[in-house]
Amino acid sequence: MTTFTTSDGAEIFYKDWGSGQPIVFSHGWPLSGDAWDAQMLFFGMNGYRVIAHDRRGHGRSSQPWDGNNMDRYADDLAELIEHLDLKDAILIGHSTGGGEVAHYVGRHGNDRIARLVLVGAIPPLMLQTADNPDGVPMEVFDDIRRGTSLDRSQFYKDITTPFYGFNREGVANNQGLRDSFWLQGMAGGIKGQYDCIREFSEIDYTDDLRAIDRPTLIIHGDDDQLVPIKATAYRAAKIVRDATLKVYPGGGHGLAQLQAEQFNADVLDFIRGA
């Protein structure tokens, strides 16, 4: 296993394959870097260096009691990028990972990155407020906290249905994706995953989006049942200065896995400047 130790003593697992311009992948909750397998293989075989880490409290990384917050997630990402001395990196973040890469820019700047891709991403804000009426009510996040804290194993099995849209007409069930989601989720630590719920629901990442000054591709499914497009992608595309919004009709939250071929092709075109 390849790991590095952060400045506060956490051990972060990461995969680093291939050579060429680096692409760094940040995964969603409650998963791990393995969620990017189809992208790691595709882009690695297309001449890119591909890197995916497990966020602290997730996957094979340390499970600290404290420090499970977006400031520390972004700093962990910055320390990984500096540890590997990456330059002209492409950052790709899904869901919570989208908040992580945006907050990385907000805290550490744009100097080491060339482009960003946000897919099903949480910025600017998931929570429903008076200024964000299309967001998700707090009681939904409280239910996620309840399920995670009291019956995590079954909850992670159940949430795969809206995550991948298996409750939608025309979307075929994929037991392999369900099993992979559950295995990745259960590999992580309950405290880190519980704490992370606040970070993907209640934090406003508007200022981080404003700090981005690199070309940014925003991909979102218009049937995302977990991260509503009106509260996130539509608003983010108006905030980021050089943003391109690509909407997948009928697409769900896990589109990078469920529609991997289309997603990979779209991202490759964006990276190559097509």
The region that residue 239 occupies, defined by phi over 0 for left and psi between -120 and 50 for alpha, beta otherwise, is alpha
Helix axes 96-108, 190-201, angle to 10 degrees: 70
pLDDT tens per residue across span 160-213? 999 999 999 999 999 999 999 999 999 999 999 999 999 999 999 999 999 999
**Is 253 annotated as catalytic?**
yes
Measured at the CA of 200, the angle between CA 141 and CA 44, to 5 degrees, comes to: 130
Helices 152-164/138-150 angle, 10° precision: 140
**Average pLDDT, integer, range 145-166:** 98
* Helix, strand, coil abundance in the chain, percent, nearest 5: 45, 20, 40
| Bridge partner list, 14 | 53
Rounded-to-integer distance, Cα 108 and Cα 126, Å: 23
95 catalytic? Reply is yes
Place of tokens 């990017």: 36
Catalytic residue of the set 208, 223, 224, 266: 224
Catalytic residue among 61, 95, 180, 201: 95
- pLDDT tens-digit series, residues 82-106: 999 999 999 999 999 999 999 999 9
List Cα–Cα distances, 44 to 15, 41, 75, 97, 152, in angstroms.
Answer: 12, 5, 25, 20, 34
Task: Tell me if residue 143 is catalytic.
Answer: no
At 274, is the pLDDT very low, low, confident or very high (cuts 50, 70, 90)? low
pLDDT score at 15: 98
pLDDT of 139 strictly over 70: yes
Please tell me which residue in 53, 58, 94, 253 is annotated as part of the active site: 253
Measured in residues, the chain has a length of 274
Res. 126: pLDDT tops 90: yes
**Residue 131: CB atoms within 10 Å:** 8
Domains and CATH numbers, the chain: 3-271 (3.40.50.1820)
Residue 63 CA: distances (Å) to CA of 6, 194, 225:
13, 12, 29
